Amino acid sequence: MAERERGGSTNNCDHSGDTEPPKSPEDESSERPEAQYTQDLKSVLITSVLNLEKLDVDLYRGTHHWVPRSQRLFGGQIVGQALVAAAASVSDNLYAHSLHCYFVRAGDPKVPVLYQVDRTRDGRSFTVRSVRAIQHGQPILICQASFHMLQPSPLQHQFTMPVVPQPEDLLTVEELIHRYLSKPDLAKKSRQGLNKLLANEVPIEIKPVHPPHFYRLPAAELRKLFWVRARGYIGEGNMKLHCCVAAYVSDYAFLGTALLPYPNYRAQFSASLDHAMWFHNTFRSDEWMLYECESPWAGGSRGLVQGRLWRRDGVLAASCSQEGVLRVKLVTEPSKL
């Protein structure tokens, strides 16, 4: 059992009951020296995607950065922006500990999203906010987010992080694609598909623990493991923001976990129906975290996926759950990712 993280007074998401002096997330990771940060661009996630425009009290406007090929807004972007809006009306001594969302309509990439916050309750130790994300006058997402003050407790446990290769020993998705593209016998259709994937400007970096096979049907695996972090620099201290970035990241490629046992099926239509998260400890979303995703159930054209985001020092940072609609067709060729 890994020791639980200590509380930090400026971090809006730590839930430790300890009263010892805080440790900033930087103290826990030496993987990315500051010298390297100076060469990185500031993460577009904080300069643009999660940088909402305040229109009025509890009313914000968010714009889009990366739009998936489905041409419906990326669910993680809507959840991340909703959490930014919710957290803005919550005092700094309260820490986001959970959120529960329903995606009720497809997001339209042609117009911005409005976020309307309802201050549902300000309690003694817990505070709840409800957020409606609105386009064309109608909700596309409803979200409840809850915030908690630091409270001590002798109850502290967590699962153990899986043992996997370190990110330095693995290739990014882009590097893997370049490797496949360099193969002279690559079919034209596969080359086109891989080039489309390369053109994606997703503001997160991914290193799969089990690199995908672009050539042949993959062996059925029930669990997806990948290292993930925001592209660019975010910096220390603002745990509120790191939780919002993690909300964005947590929806990426998550629902696909439910298709892992079915390499002969490809999704004709897939969309996340709901998304829930629980934040357990401080973390930095611009440092590598291991995303462990599994699917305990699928049926009735829906699939359930569950995920754990681990800090690389083995501390459980967050847990996620999602159900999605999955309408599939039988295929003979493998999916591209």
Active site residues: 251, 272, 322
Tokens 């975010």, located at residue = 234
Answer for the pair 251, 318: CB distance below 8 angstroms, yes or no: no
Asked whether position 327 contacts ligand MLC by CB under 6 A, the answer is: yes
Nearer to ligand MLC, 95 or 103 (CB): 103
The single residue among 44, 59, 88, 104 that binds ligand MLC, judged by CB under 6 A, is: 104
325 binds ligand MLC (CB under 6 A): yes
Q: How far is the CB of 254 from ligand MLC (least distance, A)?
A: 6
Angle, CA 77 vertex, CA 71 and CA 79 arms, to 5°: 125
User: Per-residue string for binding with ligand MLC, 252-291, x by CB under 6 A?
Assistant: ---x-------------xxxxx------------------
d(C-alpha 278, C-alpha 230), whole Å? 19
Cα–Cα distances (Å) from 38 to 149, 232, 236, 288, 306, in that order, read: 34, 10, 14, 18, 35
Minimal distance, residue 91 CB to ligand MLC, in Å: 30
Which residues ranging from 173 to 192 are in contact with ligand MLC (CB under 6 A)? none
Largest CA distance in the chain: 65
Q: Of 59 and 106, which CB lies nearer to ligand MLC in the complex structure?
A: 106
In angstroms, what is the minimal distance from the CB of 112 to ligand MLC? 16
Answer for which of 105, 210, 231, 336 binds ligand MLC (CB under 6 A) is: 105
CB within 8 Å of 38: residues ≥ 6 apart: none
Token pair 């596969």 in the structure block, residue: 190
Asked whether 315 and 185 are in contact (CB, 8 A), the reply is no
142 strand-pairing partners = 102, 132
Minimum distance from CB of 147 to ligand MLC (Å)?
Answer: 24
294 C-beta neighbours (distance < 10 Å), count: 17
**Nearest-approach distance from CB 327 to ligand MLC, in angstroms:** 4
DSSP code of residue 88: T
Contact between 149 and ligand MLC (CB under 6 A)? Answer: no
Minimum gap (Å) between residue 253 Cβ and ligand MLC: 7
**What is the token pair recorded at 94?**
């309260």
Q: How many residues of this chain bind ligand MLC (CB under 6 A)?
A: 17
Q: Does 302 participate in binding ligand MLC (rule CB under 6 A)? A: no
Region 48-77 residues binding ligand MLC, contact defined as CB under 6 A: 72, 74-75
Chain position whose Cβ is nearest to ligand MLC: 75
> According to the binding rule CB under 6 A, does residue 206 interact with ligand MLC?
no
Cα-based angle 321, 324, 326 (whole degrees, multiple of 5): 145
Task: Compute the CA torsion angle 54, 56, 57, 61 (nearest 10 deg).
Answer: -40
Closer to ligand MLC by Cβ: residue 171 or 271 = 271
C-beta of 7 vs 76, nearer to ligand MLC: 76
The whole-angstrom separation of Cα 42 and Cα 286 is 10
Contacts with ligand MLC by CB under 6 A lie at: 72, 74-75, 103-107, 251, 255, 269-273, 325, 327
